[in-house]
Structure 1
Amino acid sequence: MAWRLKLVPEKTNINFFRWQWLTFGGSMVMIVAALLATAFMGLNFGIDFQGGTTLRTESTTPVDVGAYRQALTALDVGDVSITEVFDPSFRANQHVAQIRIGAQDGYEAVTPETLDRVKVALVAIDAALKVVSVELVGPKVSSELIWTSVMAVLATSVGVLIYIWLRFEWQFALGGVLALVHDVIITVGLFAVFQWKFDLTIVAALLTILGYSINDTVVVFDRLRENLVKFKTMPLREVMNLSVNETLSRTVMTSGTTLMALGAMLIWGGDVIRGFSLAIFLGVIVGTYSSVYVAKNVVLFIGLDRSDKPKGGKGTPSEYANIEA
């Protein structure tokens, strides 16, 4: 038989409820701490949320994002984002870049003096470079982006709630969504505590975390639903333990390989995607934890009606919904 790497034995018998008040209670403490940190310390908003100035440049020579960034970093102008713009309509020698500079203290945009310094620094790198447009992103637009981001996370959570409710039972839906709320709040709280930059890429990472975490939770719930039908007289706590143990190998393998890829992105991906990689890296860890220790605990505390119910008609094998993804 060929040798296979096994991070987890094929059969485990771990009592995941042994320290439930420490694990589940610890999650509640972390949520409260994250909320307090976000409320009192605030988030270190990036350009997308704090406003600033956007410059559009054109040149006949290729854009060197690294050189641009190095030149602007030396000016100490604050938060800077540089991206190269591609468009099929551009000429062969038309190279366009978009440079965003965060608002400075006491100003809604970059001051004219700072803007002149930026232009001089860029021209020193590329004599053919021209600044073709300068746009202001004010605080009103930034506040709208914050509100839109919050609505995106809430809408995703509601969609997940409805999906799990249809596929399983309302207890599963509530447990799954509370686990997602747990993941998002703790991840955002870490960004508040360490004052890591929080911009639209982090919002995209949070939405990715929601999808990853609920996928892991649904795997556990799916096995739990099967075992509830198979072991009708086994206590609910033991059925949950069995279900998590049976899916533990898959959980560890999936999370482990994902973290390996994210770790590589975090170390060698560069400044552009470092925040995104960090948010997902933390989210995968917290999401895996919540799938094992939070979601099923909520279902256990609420309880399930395991009594036999009249069949809903021909072809209805059990009380649990069987809507496939």
Structure 2
Amino acid sequence: MSKEERNINFMAARKPLGMLSIALVVISVILLVTRGLNLGLDFTGGTTIVVKSPVDVELSQTRADLAEAGFGDAVVQHYGSPKEVNIRVAPKDSVDADKIGYVVFDVLKAGNGDLELLKVEFVGPQVGDELRDESGTAMLLALGLMMLYVWFRFSNKFGVATVVALFHDVIVVLGLFSLLQWPFDLTVLAAVLALIGYSLNDSIVVADRIRDEFRNTRETDPVAIINGAVNQTMTRTINTSLTTLLVLVALFFFGGEVMKAFSEALIVGVLVGTYSSIYVVTNILFMMKVDKEDFLIPEPEELDETP
């Protein structure tokens, strides 16, 4: 369908969807304050055990053995080769921190007598707290730099609208992780930072088209102008989102436990980011009373050559 034929009135739903966005953000903030995030071992500290077997190790069986012994929250993954396994477990009140690694090794050795212990390391909660604080700082810094870029790339109104959309996406994704108590570790943090870049890119495509429409059309109604711009970018937005989601769904089903949380965060993020690039950005622009004067190119000043 050509852009001349497509004339979907996306802006007709902007007000109820704007209220939905506000509700989602408020609920997400309440969840983050009351329930918090289910922080993984990267942030809370714990013990890392590396073991080696003369044969390939089945991760599913290892997880089952650990769960039966009371370590159901252990993170298990191959470590360089299928014969080596890295296990991370959270601290337990019933086991001394300096002994928990050997307890885990004894559990695994009971099912595989040829298992060899390569390494046991304990990471205290203080390191996790520092990592959590530095991760939050990195996220805020990324959002701030994005705002500066958009501010200079377009105008101050677009800068505000785009950054509000970015905050909206991050808070809603974190709120869902809080609601469902999905584990939040460094892999998920990487997904959130990737989401910031994805959402910004999508918002810039829409913003660029809106700016061109304000400058080139004879239409004076901002609602009609923005609606036309969204129609023109919709094919690109859908194609980009669908191709990204195909990769993420493949990672979710075939990437193993390590990539599951990463793909979950980005699947939700892509859906929320696609929505926000249309309805959150445009609603903020309407609130700031965007009009054609915001996009006028200033006339170059003529120099008076008279001495």
Q: Aligned pair 1:284/2:278, yes or no?
A: no
Alignment of 1:1-325 (within 5 A): 11-86=5-80, 96-105=84-93, 110=97, 112=99, 114-304=100-290, 306-307=292-293, 308=296, 310-312=298-300
Superposed CA RMSD: 2.6
Percent identity between the two aligned chains: 36
Give the partner amino acid of 2:30. Answer: L
Which structure dedicates a bigger proportion of its chain to helix?
Answer: 2
Deviation at 1:85, TM superposition (A): 3.3
Call closer, same or farther: CA 1:105–1:273 in 2, change over 3 Å: farther
Call closer, same or farther: CA 1:119–1:298 in 2, change over 3 Å: same
Give the partner amino acid of 2:43. Answer: F
Call closer, same or farther: CA 1:269–1:58 in 2, change over 3 Å: closer
Call closer, same or farther: CA 1:176–1:159 in 2, change over 3 Å: same
How far, CA to CA, are the matches of 1:65 and 1:312 in structure 2? 68
| Aligned residue number for residue 320 of structure 1 | none
Call closer, same or farther: CA 1:212–1:306 in 2, change over 3 Å: same
Bigger shift: residues 283-292 or 53-62: 53-62
How far, CA to CA, are the matches of 2:93 and 2:196 in structure 1? 34
| Alignment: residue pair count | 300
Deviation at 1:62, TM superposition (A): 4.4
Q: When the two structures are superposed, what TM-score results if normalisation uses the length of structure 2?
A: 0.88
Bigger shift: residues 271-280 or 281-290: 271-280
CA contact (8 A) 2:98 2:122 kept: no
CA contact (8 A) 1:47 1:79 kept: no
Call closer, same or farther: CA 1:169–1:64 in 2, change over 3 Å: same
Give the partner amino acid of 2:147. Answer: L
CA contact (8 A) 1:11 1:246 kept: no
Call closer, same or farther: CA 1:57–1:150 in 2, change over 3 Å: same
5+ residue gaps, structure 1, are 1-5, 88-93, 315-325
| Aligned residue number for residue 321 of structure 1 | none
Call closer, same or farther: CA 1:161–1:80 in 2, change over 3 Å: same
Deviation at 1:106, TM superposition (A): 7.4
Bigger shift: residues 28-37 or 196-205: 196-205
